[in-house]
Amino acid sequence: MWKPFVVACVFVAGSVATALSHDVQDPATLQKPNIRDLLSTALESAEGLEVIVSHVALPADVTLPMHWHPGEEFAYILQGSVTLILEEEGEHEAFAGDVGVVPLKKVHTARSGKEGATILVFRVHEAGEPGRILVGD
């Protein structure tokens, strides 16, 4: 599922990452995940859809709860490493510079590596829906 060369996302992510470089907290110093939405806007060309861009900093060796999104998720790894765990599809490891996709409403989780991870996430999903839906234990 992870695709290391997605030019459009890398170009946009690289531009945003450059603008944020002075504001990126070292994930190794974090105690819990830090998710900060940078942009939330309606898509003019697709009624009922919106795009959300988030800066996600994961501390070292953290596994997020199982969840899904009411849309598609595109992630660009700025630093560190993360393992994406997709329900019924297994694990996909990604490193700084890699780009990945989480399919629509696919149950998944992510586990950061020993140095943590900083990720720029683009989500295109149903307007007005929550960003993520946790899956019961």
pLDDT in tens, 4-19: 333 334 334 444 443 4
Residue (of 120, 131, 103) closest to 2 by Cα position: 103
pLDDT tens for residues 59-90? 999 999 999 999 999 999 999 999 999 999 99
Residue (of 123, 84, 76, 129) closest to 104 by Cα position: 123
pLDDT confidence of residue 89: 92
In this predicted structure, the answer to whether residue 121 has a pLDDT above a threshold of 90 is yes
pLDDT confidence of residue 16: 45
The residue to which tokens 């974090």 are assigned: 30
The pTM for the full model equals 0.76
Domains and CATH numbers, the chain: 7-128 (2.60.120.10)
How confident is residue 26, by pLDDT bands cut at 50, 70 and 90?
low
Residue (of 122, 96, 106, 104) closest to 8 by Cα position: 122
